């Protein structure tokens, strides 16, 4: 079984800049007043969102991330997607990754549906040729028909999400990262979306998702990570992890 992603001793520090730390004037004053510079530096509050995490994801892993709010679930997904690079440690990802976080990001209200397909496709790393090739199937799946000729601002939020979802899921990725199930879709579309996501998840090599919906995790995942205060407490078969760490929810 091949390794799709490996994290070695990954630590993520979030510096919390207060106004003082952000100010060059403060920095300069610190230097001129002497001695205070070290104090100024120590005043920088650092949050350890992920600490010393080692993890290996192999072909076939469907991993649910469990943990309380602030346990580092979202940060771990952001590290896997490459948004946040580790402060210490190393990460290697060996597969095309689709990060389904904020699907609507980068879409332009003034541009038409068709233009947004191009725009969002480019964000997702598709080439112009690929976008051309996939555009008809995206349009069809979205079910928006002639609305695609209209500017996005005339759409309802459900329609925007439909289009965004269709673009984001038009290509089969090797690794899928999901932050909470996309639940704000309209009823009619949600069945279609669920079906496509399950299909994509099935054909993908690795799926990592964070969700509070235990039933959903159980239906999609075969493994689970339990996190607490940024630390990986346990990684193993989902049933075992649930029984051991979240007995109240099983």
Interface ranges with other proteins (CB under 8 A): 1-3, 6, 8, 11, 13-15, 17, 22-25, 27, 56, 78, 81-97, 99, 101-102, 105-106, 108, 110-111, 118-119, 122-123, 125, 127-128, 174
Give whichever of 83 and 243 is closer to other proteins, judged by the CB atom: 83
The Cα–Cα gap between 139 and 163 comes to 8
Beta carbon of residue 35, minimum distance to other proteins (angstroms, whole number): 21
Sequential DSSP letters for 92-118: EE-S-EEEES-TTTT--TTSBHHHHHH
Sequential DSSP letters for 182-237: ---S-HHHHHHHHHHHHHHHHHSSEEEEE-S-HHHHHHH-SEEEEEETTEEEEEEE
What is residue 82's DSSP assignment? Answer: T
Give whichever of 123 and 249 is closer to other proteins, judged by the CB atom: 123
Give whichever of 125 and 145 is closer to other proteins, judged by the CB atom: 125
Give whichever of 80 and 200 is closer to other proteins, judged by the CB atom: 80
The Cα–Cα gap between 243 and 250 comes to 7
Beta carbon of residue 99, minimum distance to other proteins (angstroms, whole number): 7
Instruction: Judge contact between 149 and 114, C-beta under 8 A.
Output: yes
Beta carbon of residue 227, minimum distance to other proteins (angstroms, whole number): 20
Beta carbon of residue 43, minimum distance to other proteins (angstroms, whole number): 15
Beta carbon of residue 22, minimum distance to other proteins (angstroms, whole number): 5
Give whichever of 17 and 240 is closer to other proteins, judged by the CB atom: 17
Instruction: Judge contact between 36 and 59, C-beta under 8 A.
Output: no
Q: Measure the CA angle with vertex 81, ends 80 and 85; round to 5°.
A: 70
């Amino acid at each position: 079984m091949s390794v799709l992603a490996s994290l070695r001793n990954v630590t993520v520090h979030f510096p919390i800049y207060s106004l003082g730390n952000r100010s060059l004037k403060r920095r300069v004053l610190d230097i001129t007043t002497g001695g205070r510079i070290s104090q100024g530096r120590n005043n920088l509050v650092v949050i350890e969102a992920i600490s010393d995490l080692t993890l290996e994801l192999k072909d076939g892993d469907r991993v649910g991330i469990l943990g309380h709010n602030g346990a580092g679930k979202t940060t771990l997904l952001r590290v896997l997607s490459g948004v946040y690079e580790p402060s210490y440690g190393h990460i290697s990802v060996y597969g095309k990754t689709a990060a389904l976080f904020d699907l609507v990001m980068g879409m332009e209200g003034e541009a038409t549906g068709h233009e947004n397909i191009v725009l969002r496709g480019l964000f997702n790393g598709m080439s112009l040729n690929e976008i051309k090739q996939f555009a008809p199937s995206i349009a069809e799946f979205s079910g928006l028909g002639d609305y695609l000729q209209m500017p996005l601002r005339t759409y309802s939020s459900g329609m925007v999400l439909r289009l965004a979802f269709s673009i984001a899921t038009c290509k089969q990725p090797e690794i899928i990262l999901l932050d909470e199930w996309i639940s704000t879709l309209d009823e009619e579309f949600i069945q279609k979306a669920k079906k496509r996501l399950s299909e994509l998840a099935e054909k993908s090599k690795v799926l990592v998702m964070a969700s509070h919906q235990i039933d959903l995790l159980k239906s999609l995942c075969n493994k689970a990570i339990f996190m607490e205060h940024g630390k990986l407490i346990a990684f193993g078969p989902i049933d075992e992890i649930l029984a051991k760490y979240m007995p109240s929810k099983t």
